[in-house]
Chains A and B, each alone.
Chain A
Amino acid sequence: AQTVTQSQPEMSVQEAETVTLSCTYDTSESDYYLFWYKQPPSRQMILVIRQEAYKQQNATENRFSVNFQKAAKSFSLKISDSQLGDAAMYFCAYRNYNQGGKLIFGQGTELSVKP
Chain B
Amino acid sequence: QQQVKQSPQSLIVQKGGISIINCAYENTAFDYFPWYQQFPGKGPALLIAIRPDVSEKKEGRFTISFNKSAKQFSLHIMDSQPGDSATYFCAASTGNQFYFGTGTSLTVIP
Question: Are A and B a genuine interacting pair, yes or no?
Answer: no
- What residues make up the interface of A, taking CB atoms closer than 8 Å to B? none
- What residues make up the interface of B, taking CB atoms closer than 8 Å to A? none
